[in-house]
Chains A and B, each alone.
Chain A
């Protein structure tokens, strides 16, 4: 498994998901609930004085960090290594997988426990480890549910099992694990906890993702609510943290601001239950540090965006605030995007990491309403980046329909030539006249067909506005009534 979800074409995925009433109801109610919570923890929280100020600071920190990424990556890796850790830069997903496979083999490890991580999902790490005979266990509750359900895929970057309700979870646990209790969240959680506890104790290797890496001290910071990540990093002798190469902050001071932005934007929490910063402290007498700590820094296409107009997408701190306000995501759900990165951020990021061949439709799956840009805590101009993608797509990297290209060409000519433009306006009523009935067109010809598939089109105004305006001005200047 990797970044990609399924092999169906985009519109088939959309159609399938639009017919899933539970998923749709869940998406809408989650969005509606989160909106209020996020607002009270951000713009309406007076203790922050001015949320915009925080956003500006977030944008500044991220822009600065990405502009000096090489410097901070070196600093991070030096400091991490100075404390006894090992750092590996993986240019591709494959390099990352191979390094981790080799390491696990060397440790003769069979049991791997994992904390929630999108980047390991992106590089297809679980399968790679299963291929060499490891048992890999997801310990984040939502990821655990997905894993138990025959490796279902995440539909949201923060809440990966958002598309399942508690009854479905009860049934999955029952069918796969012999669970016999009810759909009460407390009972479901207690059951999962019981299953996970022994695995933690048996695991030889723990793998985590990374919310932020602090360059000045060579530390990794995890922002979680369940505490499982702390088990993953404290019990096994070997710990591997996998991070996207952009997930870095210069110092703890900047971390403070970004964690504030992340927790409040993600689910309207002032702080999550656990915010853990840890570094390799490989001293003899250290009780709770791993004996061996590895940091795998993954590029996997991220440098495609560096130094380009797409660089701001690397500012993302994975809060999913944009997903939570996206009216398109609201209806089609996460799996329609065909990528583990969904919603507006997914539509911008997926083509950069995975190419237009696979993700070419995603930049068009947005009405450009700008809700994403408005909410983003680090001010990524998401809807503008979607337009930049469309520009690249029509200029050769994608395969736009020839008809569309021709139409836009004609548009360019018509729109730059006032006489042609006026002719089009005058001709429209005549051209569409035969299709109109009672002032509306219900079956439009040619390019109007997709419009009238689901809605009526008004018949073009017969009365030419320019003509009216001229007469109107004349009658005004003749002293006519300004009625």
Chain B
């Protein structure tokens, strides 16, 4: 049995506990034994990308320690997984830590990447009959290089009609602290993204990174647009002929 350590990410843990549950259940259904290293914290990206390298290093050290014993580290965020890949560069001047960071980076996968590339599964047995479109996140595609995996998985979801999103390569305007430092620009980027989403006439926007989804979803809500926003783990955990969600009736199936 494949042993997987879940790197849940701080955003997912704090705001989207239900997404984390879906991640666990999908991985277990695919035969993985999931564990949750309790020493995990935030990956340090908000500090690192804002120029606070020293504070980010503290988080990085803690994360390296927390996942030291893991076989595979799997995260429901391409951006946070990409941050693990950045660790060796952060510890460039410290050979011992650099080696540990390299080991962590080598065993870290984004959720969909892990399912497709490591488990070699494309059909997870999900069913979800809606018209949807998919938002590609920049860090997941450009920094982590995961471009195909989510589409391969979604292609096999029964009943799902996936409409291509135009200008999908343009950033949605989240950008971590960018979203609060450059509010007027972030707003325009979100609004253009939303115009393209509306053009697809999709009922549901699917994504694989909670940061982007929190931003787009939050803006959709503010504008009163009835488009539902879902993490891909939520979609993959819909099953049964009619696409019934979960056993847990209280569980939210959208991110906001």
CB atoms of A408 and B52 under 8 A apart: yes
Q: Beyond the given A465-B8, A466-B38, could you list 6 further A-B residue pairs with CB under 8 A, ordered by the A residue number?
A: A331-B189, A367-B171, A408-B47, A408-B55, A455-B215, A476-B28
Q: What are 9 A-B pairs at a CB distance below 8 A?
A: A327-B170, A327-B171, A330-B170, A367-B179, A368-B138, A369-B139, A408-B46, A412-B52, A469-B20
| Chain A stretch 155-176: residues in CB contact (< 8 A) with chain B | none
Closest 3 CB pairs of A and B: A367-B175, A390-B51, A412-B55
Among A327, A395, A413, A451, residue most surrounded by chain B Cβ atoms (within 10 Å): A327
Q: Answer whether residue A268 sits at the interface, using C-beta atoms and an 8 A cutoff.
A: no
A370-B138, A370-B139, A456-B221 are known contacts. Are A418 and B39 too (CB-CB below 8 A)?
A: yes
Total interface residues in chain B, CB < 8 Å: 75
Question: For A458, what are the chain B residues with a Cβ–Cβ distance below 8 Å?
Answer: 15-16, 214, 217-218, 255-256
> When each residue 28-68 of chain B gets 1 if its CB lies under 8 Å from chain A and 0 otherwise, what string results?
11000000101111101011111111111011011000100
Smallest beta-carbon distance B82→chain A, Å: 9
Give every chain A residue within 8 A of B173 (Cβ-Cβ). Answer: 327, 367
Residues of chain A within 8 A of B47, CB atoms compared: 408, 411-412, 415
B159 within 8 A of A: no
A368's contact among B49, B192, B215, by CB below 8 Å, is which? Answer: B49
Interface residue stretch chosen among A10-18, A67-75, A284-292: A10-18
Q: Is the CB of A465 within 8 A of B21?
A: yes
Interface: A259 (CB within 8 A): no
B41 and A418 within 8 A (CB): yes
Assuming the A-B contacts A331-B188, A460-B14, are A395 and B51 also in contact, with contact meaning beta carbons closer than 8 angstroms in the complex?
Answer: yes
- Known A11-B184, A458-B256; judge A367-B42 contact (CB<8 A): no
What chain A residues lie within 8 Å of B53 (beta carbons)? 391
Asked whether, in the complex, the Cβ of B185 is within 8 Å of the Cβ of A328, the reply is yes
Q: How far is the CA of A414 from the CA of B14 in the complex (A)?
A: 14
- A482 near B61 with CB under 8 A, answer no
Name which residue of chain B comes closest to A463, CB basis. Answer: B17
Query: From residue A397, how far is it (CB to closest CB) to chain B in Å?
Result: 11
Task: Decide if A374 is an interface residue (CB 8 Å cutoff).
Answer: yes
Tell whether, in the assembled complex, residue A450 and residue B183 are in contact, meaning their CB atoms are under 8 Å apart. Answer: yes
The answer, among B13, B171, B181, B247, for a CB contact under 8 Å with A425, is B13
Known: A367-B189, A472-B24. A415 touches B17 (CB 8 A): no
Contact, CB under 8 Å: A369 / B184: no
Task: From B44, B46, B218, give the contact of A456 (CB < 8 A).
Answer: B218
Number of chain A interface residues as a range = 35 or more
A-side contacts of B218, CB under 8 Å: 440, 451, 455-458
Tell me whether A327 and B189 are in contact (CB under 8 A).
Answer: yes
Contact partners of B139 in chain A: CB under 8 A = 369-370
Contacts of A415 in B (CB 8 A): 41-42, 44, 47, 55, 58-59, 62
A390 closest partner in B (C-beta): B51
Query: CB of B190 within 8 A of chain A?
Result: yes
Q: Report A479 CB to chain B, min CB distance, Å.
A: 14
Chain B residues 176 to 227 lying within 8 A of chain A, measured CB to CB, are 176, 178-190, 192, 214-215, 217-219, 221-222
Q: How far is the CA of A11 from the CA of B187 in the complex (A)?
A: 14
Report A's interface with B, CB cutoff 8 A: 11, 14-15, 18, 28, 32, 325, 327-328, 330-332, 364-371, 373-374, 387, 389-395, 400, 404-405, 408-409, 411-418, 421-422, 424-425, 428, 439-440, 442, 447, 450-451, 453-458, 460-461, 463-466, 468-469, 472, 476, 482-483
- Chain B residues with CB below 8 A from A387, complex form: 48-49, 51
Closest B residue by C-beta to A35: B169
Decide yes or no whether B142 CB sits under 8 A from chain A.
Answer: yes
Question: Which residues of B sit under 8 angstroms from A408, Cβ to Cβ?
Answer: 46-47, 50, 52, 55
The residue on A at minimum CB distance from B57 is A412
Residue in contact with B62 in the complex, picked from A391, A416, A461, CB distance below 8 Å: A416
Given contacts A14-B184, A456-B221, A461-B16, contact A483 B178 (CB under 8 A): no
Question: CA separation between A450 and B48, bound complex, in Å?
Answer: 20
Smallest CB gap from A420: residue in B: B41
A442 CB, min distance to chain B CBs, angstroms: 8
Pairwise interchain contact B219-A412, C-beta atoms closer than 8 A: no
When the two chains form their complex, are residues B175 and A394 in contact, meaning their CB atoms are under 8 A apart? no
Distance in Å from the Cβ of B124 to the closest Cβ of chain A?
Answer: 14
Chain A residues with CB under 8 A of B103: none
CB distance from A337 to the nearest CB of B (A): 12
Residue of B28, B52, B187 ringed by the most chain A CB atoms within 10 A: B52
Please measure, in the bound complex, the distance between the C-alpha atom of A155 and the C-alpha atom of B199, giving whole angstroms: 30
Chain A minimum-CB-distance residue to B89:
A384
Q: Is B114 an interface residue (CB 8 A)?
A: no
- Measured CB to CB, the closest approach of chain B to A365, in angstroms, equals 6
List, in ascending order, chain B residues with CB within 8 A of A11's CB: 184
B110 CB–A CB distance under 8 Å? no
Q: Is B109 an interface residue (CB 8 A)?
A: no
Asked, given contacts A412-B59, A461-B18, whether A368 binds B24 with beta carbons under 8 Å apart, the answer is no
Task: Give the docked Cα–Cα distance between A360 and B58 (Å).
Answer: 26
- Binary contact track B70-107/A, C-beta < 8 Å → 1, others 0: 00000000000000000000000000000000000000
Kindly list chain B residues whose C-beta atoms are within 8 Å of the C-beta of A466: 13, 36, 38
When chains A and B are docked, how far (Å) is the Cα of A454 from the Cα of B36?
35
Give B8's nearest chain A residue, CB to CB: A465
Nearest-neighbour CB distance to chain B for A316, whole angstroms, equals 20
Which residues on A sit within 8 Å (CB–CB) of B174? 367
Interface pair A456/B222, CB less than 8 Å apart: yes
Q: Which of B169, B180, B185, B217 has the most CB of A within 10 A?
A: B185
- Distance, CA A32 to CA B203, complexed state (A): 26
- B28 near A482: Cβ-Cβ < 8 Å: yes
Residues of A within 8 Å of B62, CB to CB, are 415-418
Are the C-beta atoms of A453 and B183 separated by less than 8 Å?
yes
Encoded as 1 (CB less than 8 Å from any A CB) or 0, chain B from 2 to 24 comes to: 00000010101111111011001
- Cβ-defined partner of A465 (8 Å) among B17, B44, B179: B17
Q: Is B179 touching A469 in the complex (CB atoms < 8 A)? A: no
Determine the chain A residues whose CB is within 8 A of the CB of B50 once the complex forms. 390, 394, 404, 408
* Known contacts A412-B59, A414-B41; A364 and B14 CB within 8 A of each other: no
